Amino acid sequence: MAGTANNEAARLVPAEQASEPTSPVGEVSSRLTIPDEAQLRVLGEADENLRVVEDALSADVHVRGNEITLSGEPADVAFAERVFGELLSLAGTGNQIRPDAVRRTVGMLSAGHSESPADVLSMNIVSRRGRTIRPKTLNQKRYVDAIDANTVVFGIGPAGTGKTYLAMAKAVQALQAKQVNRIILTRPAVEAGERLGYLPGTLYEKIDPYLRPLYDALHDMIDPESIPRLTQAGAIEVAPLAYMRGRTLNDAFILLDEAQNTTPEQMKMFLTRLGFGSQIVVTGDITQIDLPGGQRSGLQVVRDILNGVEDVAFPQLTSEDVVRHKLVGDIVDAYDRWQATQPPAPQRQGRRV
């Protein structure tokens, strides 16, 4: 079993040391005792976690009191032991285990990764009013680890993979720990351009729809009543990308969202704003580029440009890391398959704006 907490939290009888092989010939059984304090976390309310485990495992699972009996082919029983071992480790951290965490645990173990699912799912970034923001997949943990280890990080992946949300959580964590003095959040307002003048209101009212997703994430992590105060004090700044030109940003956590809608020139301009004591996270989805006139995306070419540069990381997220409705991941995969069958789009000639 993975994790040191298992030795204290449960007693597992290995399959090869269990009682006589069960029928049919070749099957084995194994027993696992769950401590009373961990039983509800592992099995879930009304046994909702148990039902997920039973559906996901090939081994038979039988529960009587706080003892679980696993039976089946040796390999299936061994895998089931690992699953329950990880769930016991996760329960030992005090975290509530949801059915989604059970499914992700089984998925990570099935993929054969060396990392412990319990270590992935128990990493806490920011907590507020009893809600904790943490990675939910292995690639998300690697993304968060990359932010901890590098000055410039590019989080690239499809919609719903937590690119912006986790980066925002790391920014809030850094501000609360006084690792930085301010958070700077920016996005390119691609659709605005000359049409901004036709929208009603002040400039900030015109650009607000483009920046609203960043505010929404902030509201999940910081007391909404304190956001205006922090904004007025300069501890939080939310602005369109054009406002970054000519600045040097020191002691700041800087997040560029929707970076697929930057040109290579804009990406260079943004990255060279980096000052002392600052960190940059760039997020985007290269399958959702809205640049007009067939312009190249700065996010598409930056990996080739910065490949091999020290202290720069490119963690990749995929449809398997989607943490919205399960159907979102299926939609992303379907579009990828469809796109692979399409002929290359002709290069359009357009005026650069």
Across-strand partners of 154? 282
Binned at pLDDT 50, 70 and 90, residue 20 comes out as very low
The answer to whether position 69 is within a domain reads yes
DSSP 225-253: GGHHHHHHTTSEEEEEGGGGTT--B-SEE
89 contacts 116 by C-beta, under 8 angstroms: yes
Classify residue 349: in a domain, yes or no. no
The answer to whether the predicted template modeling score (pTM) of the entire model surpasses 0.75 is yes
In this model, does residue 226 exceed pLDDT 70? yes
Q: Total domain count for the chain? A: 2
CATH number for position 320: 3.40.50.300
Residue 234 located in a structural domain: yes
Mean pLDDT of 110-136: 87
Compute CA 84 distance to the chain's CA centroid, rounded to the nearest angstrom: 24
Q: Do 208 and 310 belong together in one domain?
A: yes
Last residue in a domain, options 75, 96, 121: 121
Q: Is 162 helix (H, G, I), strand (E, B) or coil?
A: coil
- Take residue 169 and report the two structure tokens written for it: 């959580």
Tokens of 2: 């993975």
143 and 112 belong to one structural domain: no
Domain check: are 201 and 109 in the same one?
no
Cα dihedral across residues 336, 338, 341, 346: positive or negative: negative
Same domain, yes or no: 203 and 220: yes
**What distance in Å separates the CA atoms of residue 127 and residue 134, rounded to the nearest whole number?**
9
Residues 206 and 283 in one domain: yes
For all residues of the chain together, what is the average pLDDT? 84
Q: Which domain holds residue 29?
A: 5-121
Query: By C-alpha distance, which of 111, 120, 95, 82 is closest to 40?
Result: 95
Q: Which of 121, 151, 172 is where one domain is finished?
A: 121
pLDDT of residue 154: 98
Find how far residue 349's CA is from the centre of its chain: 37
Task: Give the CATH number, domain containing residue 73.
Answer: 3.30.1370.10
Q: Tell me the per-residue pLDDT of 35-76, one tens digit each, with 9 for 90 and over.
A: 988 999 999 999 999 999 999 999 999 999 889 999 999 999
Collapsing DSSP states into helix, strand and coil, what is residue 271? helix
Regarding whether 113 and 65 lie in a shared domain, the answer is yes
pLDDT of residue 4: 42
pLDDT: is 92 or 211 the higher one? 92
Residue 192 pLDDT class (50, 70, 90 cuts): very low
Residue 243 near residue 207 (C-beta atoms within 8 A)? no
